[in-house]
Amino acid sequence: MTKPAALSLEKGDLLPTLLMVPAVSLVLGVMVVPLAFGAFLSFFDFSFGSFDPRTAFVGLKHYLRFFRDETALKALGNTLMFSAGAIAGDFTIGTLAAVLIHSLSRRLARLVRPIVTVPLLVSPIVVGLIWRYIYDPQGILYWMMDRVGIPFEFFPGVTSASTALLSTIIAHWWQVVPFLIIVLTAGLVSIPTELYEAARVDGAGVVSIFFRITLPLLRDVYLVILLISGVDTIKVFDIIFALTGGGPNNSTVSLSIYAYTQGFENGDLSYGIAVAMVAMIATFGLFGIPFILQNRNRRDR
Amino acid sequence: MTRTPRMKARSKWPPRLAKAFFLLVFGLWTAAPVYIVVSNAFRRTLDIRRMPPALVFKPIFTHFQRLFELDDFLRYFVNSLVISVSVTFVTIALGTLAAYGLKLFKSRIGERLSNLLLIGKMVPAITVLLPMFILMNRLRLTGTYLGPILAHSAMGLPFVTWIMASFVRDIPGEILDSATVEGCSRMKAFFRIIFPMLAPAIASAVILIMQFSWNELLFSLQLTNLDTYPLTVGIARYVGAISVDWGKCSAAATISIAPIILVGFLMQKYLVTGMTAGAIKG
């Protein structure tokens, strides 16, 4: 007696569906439900204890407030600047280091790799802590700058609104550049050496080899890294939380930091959620949708 | 030995010197911050402030003593361990099953679902946390281990599934077919054949998800209390103040980074393949 295919675990899509159920329910229950609840709450004035959806509906109030709230707009601007600066540095330093490490002898490269992976394993809160010590006005960075004759005013670090955001970006580079190095190195290994040799025979220089061969061949790898690390830069929280807490003068407040402060410290949960929703929309718009389109193209090829 | 010709072509002195200089600077830039925090954990508070820092000094353990005797830091350590190990088990189990499921789908629905996984990675933690805090508060889950375990698992699961799926996809369909021909059920084939083949992939996913949970701050900050604080929250509570007790903070930071760096070092090969699989294979 054969069972009909629809009810058989051995044929058809019943078994795969069952296999997906635990994972999908966890993500639905713990991620999607809160997100939907948050989207709902962002149109209400929520307060603990006395929340009545019939009277608390405020429509777009929180979103309109966002666009009239100077600090919120500043947080949006800071987040975009952080993202742009972080990505620019990650890519430049990461590419330079990866190409150099790749050109080393195998024994040296094997020595360098364990050092490179260390920053990736350090908790971002500790990264913030370390750099807070480094940026201390009486600390090691300014002692070194003093030694070589650079005045404090040249780079006032986290004490001035003009350089605080850059200081957080530098701390981010320290942690994330190694990720680029690891992924790019894997990409570089996949390029056949014959290509380089042929180019060198034709008299091409190091720079033109990079732009003519390496970069085009690693295009997909770069795109994926851009989208993965880009998403993370829009979400930035921990490093800023430990390093500057958003100051001085709100110059390092990111969307995540501002949503956190509004929601948990000022007790304005609905507005905090609205700010966080803007952060999510920014992530999806800037990196999410391109990511999905890119992935679809790649799989079709 | 394919590299020999390249090495020869580059053996001119000035570029080699520039290269050596860049690598030295880069090595210092990477290693110095970690050295600074770890060495400060063993210095007297007065010496932490002294510039230039002494490279050779007599290590002291008073900061660690204060953490464990006055602050009950061992509890934070155990909490971090309980949370990250549970998260690892949950996500690896569910993620591996789901990845196998994605492979088995005959229709294109598997591919569509794979795309959805990517969306899960893009959701900012704060956007989930604020409403989740309200819900967990109502369910009386704040302050328990279950809060951060559920939160970390749900946030990490799409990523773990994505990595596992990229490895499962590489397993040739013939292996599955031949198992079925020999009378294996599809689940039996999974446990007997697929699961052992995935051991390296699982090692990669384990180190990545474990470091995510071990290092995660934001969810733990709001979902735990004095009894369930993990290390990251313990550290954040020291740093939040205007003046920082550097000795204590450095010791706390050292306790938090030492185990995960050790695990990462031992599993380095898998860490690297995990990261590149996530990024390159898609």
ipTM of the complex: 0.89
Residues B282, A23: C-beta atoms closer than 8 Å: no
Say yes or no: B266 contacts chain A, CB-CB below 8 A: no
Residue A276: predicted pLDDT: 95
Residue B227: predicted pLDDT: 86
Cβ-based contacts of B102 with chain A (< 8 Å): 16, 20
HEC string of B67-122? HHHHCCHHHHHHHHHHHHHHHHHHHHHHHHHHHHHHHHCCCCHHHHHHHHHHHHHH
Residues B272, A182: C-beta atoms closer than 8 Å: yes
Closest partner residue to A284 (CB to CB) among B10, B122, B222 is: B122
Tokens of A111: 């020595």
Mean pLDDT score, A107-116: 81
Cβ-based contacts of A245 with chain B (< 8 Å): 240
Burial class (CB in 10 A: 0-12, 13-18, 19+), B256: buried
Residues A44 and A165 reside in one and the same domain: no
Residue B18: predicted pLDDT: 81
Best of A18, A19, A158, A181 to disrupt the B interface (most B CBs within 10 Å) is A19
pLDDT tens readout for residues A222-231: 888 888 888 8
User: CB of B259 within 8 A of CB of B210?
Assistant: no
- Poorest-confidence range of A163-172, A224-233, B1-10, B33-42? B1-10
Is residue A67 one of the residues assigned to a domain? no
The single-letter DSSP state of residue A123 is -
Nearest to residue A78, comparing CAs of A226, A264, A259?
A: A259
Residues B239, A129: C-beta atoms closer than 8 Å: yes
Mean pLDDT score, A14-30: 89
User: CB of B147 within 8 A of CB of B224?
Assistant: yes
Nearest to residue A232, comparing CAs of A256, A253, A259, A251?
A: A256
Is residue A40 one of the residues assigned to a domain? yes
The single-letter DSSP state of residue B55 is S
Tokens of A291: 């990511």
Residue B78: predicted pLDDT: 94
Residues composing chain B: 282
Cβ-based contacts of B53 with chain A (< 8 Å): 140
Neighbours of A12 (CB within 10 A): 17
Neighbours of A111 (CB within 10 A): 12
Closest partner residue to A13 (CB to CB) among B3, B107, B231 is: B107
Closest partner residue to A27 (CB to CB) among B129, B154, B232 is: B154
Is residue A1 one of the residues assigned to a domain? no
Burial class (CB in 10 A: 0-12, 13-18, 19+), A140: middle
Chain A window 93-152: which residues touch B at a Cβ cutoff of 8 Å?
Answer: 96-97, 100-101, 103-106, 112-134, 138-140, 143
Closest partner residue to A126 (CB to CB) among B120, B135, B257 is: B257
Nearest to residue A126, comparing CAs of B253, B64, B29?
A: B253
Mean residue pLDDT of chain A comes to 87
Residue A290: predicted pLDDT: 78
Say yes or no: B198 contacts chain A, CB-CB below 8 A: no
Residue B9: predicted pLDDT: 47
Residue B170: predicted pLDDT: 84
Residue A299: predicted pLDDT: 62
Of A139-153, B125-139, B183-197, which one has max mean pLDDT?
A: B125-139
Tokens of B232: 């990251």
Cβ-based contacts of A121 with chain B (< 8 Å): 211, 215, 257, 260-261, 264
- Poorest-confidence range of A144-153, B3-12, B80-89? B3-12
Residues A53 and A167 reside in one and the same domain: no
pLDDT of A29 strictly over 80: yes
The single-letter DSSP state of residue A152 is G
Closest residue, chain B, to A259 (C-alpha): B126
Topology of domain B65-281 in CATH is MetI-like fold (1.10.3720)
Say yes or no: B220 contacts chain A, CB-CB below 8 A: no
Residue B110: predicted pLDDT: 74
pLDDT tens readout for residues B187-235: 888 888 888 889 999 999 999 999 999 999 999 999 998 889 999 999 8
Say yes or no: B153 contacts chain A, CB-CB below 8 A: yes
Angle at B122 between CA B274 and CA A249, to 5 degrees: 115
Number of domain units in chain A: 2
Query: Side chain identity at A230, as an amino acid letter?
Result: G
Chain B window 64-83: which residues touch A at a Cβ cutoff of 8 Å?
Answer: none
Cβ-based contacts of B27 with chain A (< 8 Å): 112, 115
Mean pLDDT score, A90-112: 85
Is residue A199 one of the residues assigned to a domain? yes
Residues A37 and A128 reside in one and the same domain: no
Query: Side chain identity at B235, as an amino acid letter?
Result: I
Nearest to residue B128, comparing CAs of A31, A252, A9?
A: A31
Q: Would you call the peptide bond into B15 cis, given omega within 30 degrees of 0 as the criterion?
A: no
Residue B180: predicted pLDDT: 74
The single-letter DSSP state of residue B163 is H
Nearest to residue B255, comparing CAs of A125, A173, A134?
A: A125
Cβ-based contacts of A296 with chain B (< 8 Å): 115
Cβ-based contacts of A269 with chain B (< 8 Å): 130, 133-134
Nearest to residue B38, comparing CAs of B23, B51, B57?
A: B57
- Poorest-confidence range of A276-280, B16-20, B86-90? B16-20
Share of chain B above pLDDT 70, in %: 93
Q: Which residue has the higher pLDDT, B63 or B55?
A: B63
Mean pLDDT score, A175-193: 89
Say yes or no: A173 contacts chain B, CB-CB below 8 A: no
Residues B3, A106: C-beta atoms closer than 8 Å: yes
Q: With bands split at pLDDT 50, 70 and 90, how would you rate the model's confidence at B3?
A: very low
Residue B5: predicted pLDDT: 46
The distance from CA B133 to its chain's CA centroid, rounded to whole angstroms, is 23
Distance between CA B237 and CA A280 in Å, rounded?
27
Say yes or no: B161 contacts chain A, CB-CB below 8 A: yes
- CA of A56, closest CA in chain B: separation in Å? 16
Whichever domain contains A269, its CATH number is 1.10.3720.10
Residues A36 and A149 reside in one and the same domain: no
Say yes or no: B123 contacts chain A, CB-CB below 8 A: yes
Residue A300: predicted pLDDT: 62
- Poorest-confidence range of A22-31, A205-214, B136-145? A205-214
Residues B101, A20: C-beta atoms closer than 8 Å: yes
Say yes or no: A67 contacts chain B, CB-CB below 8 A: no
pLDDT of B11 strictly over 60: no
Is residue A134 one of the residues assigned to a domain? yes
User: CB of A209 within 8 A of CB of A217?
Assistant: no
Residue B8: predicted pLDDT: 46
* Domain end (from A59, A85, A108): A59
Residues B27, A115: C-beta atoms closer than 8 Å: yes
* Domain boundaries of chain B, sorted by first residue: 4-63, 65-281
Say yes or no: A279 contacts chain B, CB-CB below 8 A: yes
Distance between CA A169 and CA A55 in Å, rounded?
44
Residues A144 and A183 reside in one and the same domain: yes
Distance between CA A138 and CA A149 in Å, rounded?
15
Residue A83: predicted pLDDT: 95
Q: What angle, 0 to 180 degrees and rounded to 10, lies between the N-to-C axes of helices A70-102 and A61-68?
A: 70
Is residue A13 one of the residues assigned to a domain? no
Closest residue, chain B, to A102 (C-alpha): B3
Q: Would you call the peptide bond into A178 cis, given omega within 30 degrees of 0 as the criterion?
A: no
Please count the residue pairs, one from chain A and one from chain B, whose beta carbons lie less than 8 angstroms apart: 301
Range of the domain at A24: 20-59
User: Dmax of chain B from CA atoms?
Assistant: 73
- CA of A160, closest CA in chain B: separation in Å? 16
